[in-house]
Structure 1
Amino acid sequence: MWMAQLATPQAQPSWSEESILLLDVGTGSRADTAPDPAGGWTVYQHGPIKLWDEVEEALLTWQKAGSPHQSGFGLTVTRERQRVWLGDPAGPSWNLPA
Structure 2
Amino acid sequence: MARPRSSLYVYFKLAAPDTALFHRLTAMQAELAWQTGADARLLHRRDDALTWMEVYEGITDTDAFARALDAALLRHGIDPAAPARHLEWFVPFDAPPVP
TM-score (norm 1): 0.31
Greater share of strand: 1
